[in-house]
Structure 1
Amino acid sequence: MAKNELDLEAEQFLDRVSANVVKARKSKGFSQLQLATEMGYKSASYLGRIEIRSEGQHFHLVQLYKIAKILDISIEELVH
């Protein structure tokens, strides 16, 4: 597999994870601000930028762990 193809697949994976976080957050009735606050952030702007993958930002494992715990779902639901 060529490096560029692998990079593209990785970007698509990160896009899918962000979409899954948004879907899970909304299905559990959380606003960006509510989830961000539960995660320890003071505003929703950082979480919002990650959700839309602004400037290539993406969720990290600890963030996904916290999101799964807060939303009472499995991490697999976020990364699948």
Structure 2
Amino acid sequence: MLEKIFKNIQKKSLKERFLLVIAILFFVVYFVLGLFVIFMKQFPINMTIGYRIAFGVLLIVYSIIRCIRIIKDNKD
């Protein structure tokens, strides 16, 4: 499976590979940001713990949706 993905990536143009890397980077950024919002002890914005957990979960769900879109787009 991984071999097929790497061959597919090598077929892409330089611009498409760059956009793929940017998409993966933003997936990681949103996921880590969601974890920071949930688990950071000294959060700089004054929010109750319930809102922080909800916002963090929302960011993590959004990152998972982005990941699914990346996988779907690369199956071509």
Instruction: Report the TM-score, using the length of structure 2 for normalisation.
Output: 0.40
| Higher share of residues assigned helix | 2
Higher Cα Rg: structure 1 or 2?
Answer: 2
Instruction: Report the TM-score, using the length of structure 1 for normalisation.
Output: 0.38
Larger RCO, structures 1/2 (Cα 8 Å, 6+ apart): 2
